């Protein structure tokens, strides 16, 4: 908290803030970062292994091997979400499981599973993109902004 906010706090607020700081458990930041790095790196390594297998054993080239690699990662992410394994891994590794493609598949699958009691149309399909929809929207907006900046730079460089 900045010094400016501390000066505006009343004595009761300051006492409460001190109490919260004393009671709040300390987070093991280094351990959490190592876990996230290991799991996120492990997911990416598994993806790279699948990519290598598709190139070397199924005669894909580097460009065309990406599609089956991503489909495989999505399949296993959804499978492990359905079996409850991905949730336990997420609790242990934190943000390490949020590697883009597997984290996105997990968010869609978990929302679908959560609302399956409401039926397939209103439950599963209606709530499937509840969390992932925001990711898609912000991804599209970010891509538009980056493309606009790049095209502006290219256009100005061509003048």
pLDDT digits (tens, 9 = 90+) for 50-64: 999 999 999 999 999
Are 89 and 80 contacting, i.e. CB atoms less than 8 angstroms apart? yes
Inter-CA distances, 148 with 139, 142, 143, Å: 14, 10, 8
DSSP 41: H
Residue 158's φ and ψ, nearest 5 degrees, are -80, -10
Range of the domain at 32: 27-128
> What pLDDT shows up at residue 159?
59
The greatest distance separating any two alpha carbons of the chain, rounded to the nearest whole angstrom, comes to: 71
Note whether 93 and 150 are same-domain residues.
no
Note whether 46 and 124 are same-domain residues.
yes
CA–CA–CA angle 138, 140, 145 (5° rounding)? 90
Note whether 33 and 76 are same-domain residues.
yes
> What pLDDT shows up at residue 5?
52
Q: Is the pTM of this model over 0.85?
A: no
In which band, very low, low, confident or very high, does the pLDDT at 7 lie, cut at 50, 70 and 90? low
Note whether 88 and 159 are same-domain residues.
no
Residue at 22 is within a domain: no
- Of 136 and 131, the structure prediction assigns the larger pLDDT to 136
Note whether 139 and 105 are same-domain residues.
no
The proportion of the chain whose per-residue pLDDT surpasses 90, expressed as a percent, equals 50
Residue at 2 is within a domain: no
């Amino acid at each position: 908290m900045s010094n400016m906010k501390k000066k505006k706090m009343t004595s009761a607020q300051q006492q409460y803030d001190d109490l919260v700081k004393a009671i709040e458990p300390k987070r093991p930041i280094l351990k959490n970062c190592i876990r996230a790095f290991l799991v996120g790196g492990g997911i990416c390594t598994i993806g790279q292994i699948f990519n290598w297998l598709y190139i070397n054993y199924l005669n894909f080239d580097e460009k065309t091997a990406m599609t089956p690699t991503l489909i495989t990662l999505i399949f296993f992410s959804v499978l492990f979400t359905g079996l409850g394994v991905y949730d336990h891994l997420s609790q242990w590794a934190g943000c390490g499981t949020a590697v883009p493609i597997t984290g996105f598949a997990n968010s869609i699958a978990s929302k679908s599973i959560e609302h399956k009691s409401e039926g397939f149309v209103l439950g599963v399909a209606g709530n499937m993109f509840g969390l992932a929809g925001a990711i898609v929207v912000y991804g599209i907006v970010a891509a538009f902004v980056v493309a606009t900046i790049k095209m502006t730079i290219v256009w100005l460089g061509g003048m």
